[in-house]
Structure 1
Amino acid sequence: MTTTVDETRRRLGRIGAVLMTPIAPAGEWRRAAKRVEDAGYGAIWTNEAIGGREVFTQLAVMLAATDGIVLGSSIANLWARHPAAMQGAASVLADAYPGRLALGVGVSMPAMVEQSGQRWANPMARMREYLDGMDAAVDAAPAPEVPFPRLLAALGPKMQELARERADGALPAAMPVEHTRRVRERIGGGKLVVALQPAILETDPAAARETARSTGLLSMPGSPYIRSLTELGYTEADLEDGGSDEVLDACFARGGEESIARRVRAHLDAGADHVAVSVLAPDLASAAGLYERLAPALRDA
């Protein structure tokens, strides 16, 4: 019997692309999404803030602008909406576009939550409660003909265990290849592992690392990435001042097209079902251009 996990593996393919930029007109999103689809990627992933750009609206715009590519949230922030609204929105899109939605849900970071005027709470307890709310709201919208997969943004072991228990898989982001290997070991072969890999198309190592540091990945207050990297053996010194060269090279793929493709292959070899490449670009048109440039190398990954 074919499961949601099996069907999602087939539909996603091995390589996806992340479109993740500040607010832009809908026309720019439509054009960028179509360019990514035409370049041969299996999925497009996008995120949201708490307030401002809203992930289900963006997914709807891109679903309507494309023909068959899967659209996924990476992530839909549980602090941005009631669990019944999350379940209902995902169900409506999955009903309208059968087999083309993947729902990634995450808890965000303390600083982002508090900036929105909410109070940060224990992320594990919050996620469990939220999933209970989603499950209780299955009648919030018509059940889609093709069920959508539910993935959890799972950096740490406890969230990965919850992903194994309550979801179709895990959606870790910006982590070294060794992290992907450990995620696969924890959640087993019957679940999805979707690894989001930031990529900097820059052959000058110093320039690429400076770009990586400028993202603030390791300098945000309460960053969950710091704890996960510590669990992988990185030291306090590695994680200071935006990250050492070693840790940045582990978290960010850099170099030319073949270098990026090698990192993607490493994640796949470590147990990822699908790697979503996230190029760093100033706007959607530039991002689409970089994905077109990368596509030939990634096809062989």
Structure 2
Amino acid sequence: MTAVDEARGRLGKVGVVLMTPIAPAEDWRRAAKRVEEAGYGTIWLNEAIGGREVFSQMSVMLAATDRIVVGSAIANLWARHPAAMQGAAAVLGDAYPGRLALGVGVSMGAIVEQSGQKWASPLTKMREYLDGMDTSASAAPVPDIPFPRLVAALGPKMQELARDRADGALPAAMPVEHTKATRERLGQDKLLVVMQTAILGTDPEKARGIARSTQMLAMPGSPYLRSLKTLGYEDAALADGGSDEVIDACFNWGDETAIVKRIHDHLDAGADHVGVTVFAPDLPSAAAQYERLAPFLL
């Protein structure tokens, strides 16, 4: 069975993104266990450069749980040598068979420059990095159950690279028409994991304010901005943090029923799995947010 087939059987249709504090680790363990008990298929974790190192996070959460898949969305390729990426993933895949998903991404120029490195062409960097991972694979363990390697891919060229050199693509924060176009580009044999946000709240002004506070469209060199332009959104609609139309397309807000419909729209458009980041200021923890949504999403 291929990594894609294995992943489709294990990820579940909906997973969660846990953006936990750096410490204490016991908070990570507790949150991971609560999410698993709520019935979700996968926990996704992210990484910039430094701070929350993603493989350390994944190992803590894998050890604290029994069955749930834990994935990186993303493991930042600027944070480690490609041989270290391959080796770390292979060790976890071997230690926890069938419970690892590896999403690899190039991050953004501002984050890379801040770390003291020189930004380079994302497409070239990713292609060379995947070469390095493949070259080093013979020195790493070979898990009994293959783990999927996904590429964080918003634009057409990166998605083509994900199709040709990986098990699939992992785009984030895009409208449902982007999901449909990505599936068409990948074909049916590749995995499509889509990251989406959910803002629990029915006040339009408040919900859109939370969405704009993420700075998704305001960050220098934002890849989300470029991708939205390819979908036909005009510069005026993308200025000042995004028009209401743009915010409503990229962020899922409303009550539980409204959010579930929007998430399922992405599944209907061709996503194999949707990883959900919930913003709910009135709830005390991320785990509480996912517990509240579980009866609706699952």
**Cα distance per residue 1:258-293 (max 9 Å; x no partner):** 111001110000000001111125799611101000
1:58-73 matches, within 5 Å, as 58-73=57-72
**Cα distance per residue 1:126-165 (max 9 Å; x no partner):** 0000000000011332111111100000000000000000
C-alpha displacement of 1:177: 0.4
Distance in 2 separating the partners of 1:285 and 1:152: 33
1:187 alignment counterpart: 186
**Cα distance per residue 1:109-135 (max 9 Å; x no partner):** 010000000010000000000000000
1:43-192 matches, within 5 Å, as 43-192=42-191
Assess if the C-alpha contact under 8 Å between 2:109 and 2:221 holds in 1: yes
Amino acid at match of 2:137: V
1:23 and 2:22 correspond: yes
Assess if the C-alpha contact under 8 Å between 1:32 and 1:285 holds in 2: no
Assess if the C-alpha contact under 8 Å between 1:83 and 1:134 holds in 2: yes
1:261 and 2:244 correspond: no
C-alpha displacement of 1:188: 0.2
1:219-298 matches, within 5 Å, as 219-280=218-279, 286-298=285-297
Distance in 2 separating the partners of 1:84 and 1:162: 19
Distance in 2 separating the partners of 1:296 and 1:24: 29
Assess if the C-alpha contact under 8 Å between 2:6 and 2:146 holds in 1: no
1:8 alignment counterpart: 7
**Cα distance per residue 1:9-57 (max 9 Å; x no partner):** 0100101000024423100000000111100101000001201110000
The root-mean-square deviation of aligned C-alpha atoms, in Å, is 1.3
Flag the 1:22–1:243 CA change in 2: closer, same or farther, 3 A: farther
Distance in 2 separating the partners of 1:52 and 1:17: 21
Assess if the C-alpha contact under 8 Å between 1:21 and 1:283 holds in 2: no
Assess if the C-alpha contact under 8 Å between 2:82 and 2:130 holds in 1: yes
Distance in 1 separating the partners of 2:166 and 2:208: 35
Deviation above 2 Å: which 4+ runs of structure 1?
Answer: 280-285
Assess if the C-alpha contact under 8 Å between 1:87 and 1:140 holds in 2: no
Distance in 1 separating the partners of 2:282 and 2:172: 21
Flag the 1:283–1:135 CA change in 2: closer, same or farther, 3 A: farther
| 3-state SS of paired residue (1:278) | strand
Amino acid at match of 1:155: L
Distance in 1 separating the partners of 2:36 and 2:108: 31
Amino acid at match of 1:193: L
Distance in 2 separating the partners of 1:175 and 1:21: 23
| 3-state SS of paired residue (2:287) | helix
Distance in 2 separating the partners of 1:151 and 1:240: 31
Amino acid at match of 2:158: M
Amino acid at match of 1:213: R
1:213 alignment counterpart: 212
Residue segments in structure 1 that go unaligned for 5+ positions in a row:
none
C-alpha displacement of 1:202: 1.1
| 3-state SS of paired residue (2:36) | helix
Residue segments in structure 2 that go unaligned for 5+ positions in a row:
none
Distance in 1 separating the partners of 2:171 and 2:223: 11
Distance in 1 separating the partners of 2:139 and 2:101: 18
